[in-house]
Amino acid sequence: MAQAGTSALILTVCVAAALAWSPWLSEERAARWAAAHFHSGQKGRTDACGVVGTQAGERRFFARKVTLFYRCGLLPSPPQDPPQKSAVYVTGFGAIFR
């Protein structure tokens, strides 16, 4: 009986470690999910914002940090103006947090 409990504990620790590492969450996938989430929040707006670039950063527990670079407005902004940026965290399951 004690061996079954030990086996279950070891299995739980291994599964938690795999979920925390999220090997299936690549930089490209995290950036794509973050940009799609940003665009979905802009639907229906006349003066919306658009992503001009992404930068996938370091891996965190259960997530990956992604920096979105975006510009807002109906008229194009001058190229010398730096884009606005926002950092989000993308989990291995596709949930996105600010």
Q: What is the pTM of this model?
A: 0.79
Domain that holds residue 91: 2-97
- SS3 assignment, position 10: helix
State the total domains in the chain: 1
Q: What is the pLDDT of residue 76?
A: 74
93 — pLDDT class (breaks 50, 70, 90): confident
Read off the tokens for 97.
């947090």
Question: What element of type H or E holds 67?
Answer: strand 63-72
| Encoded amino acid at 74, one letter | L
Please count the other Cβ atoms lying within 10 Å of the Cβ belonging to residue 41: 10
* Residue 88: half-sphere exposure toward Cβ, Cα within 13 Å: 21
Q: Take residue 11 and report the two structure tokens written for it.
A: 């299995």
What tens digit of pLDDT does each residue of 16-70 get? 887 778 888 899 999 999 999 999 988 888 778 889 999 988 888 889 999 999 9
Nearest-angstrom CA–CA distance, 98 and 76: 26
pLDDT at 1 over 80: no
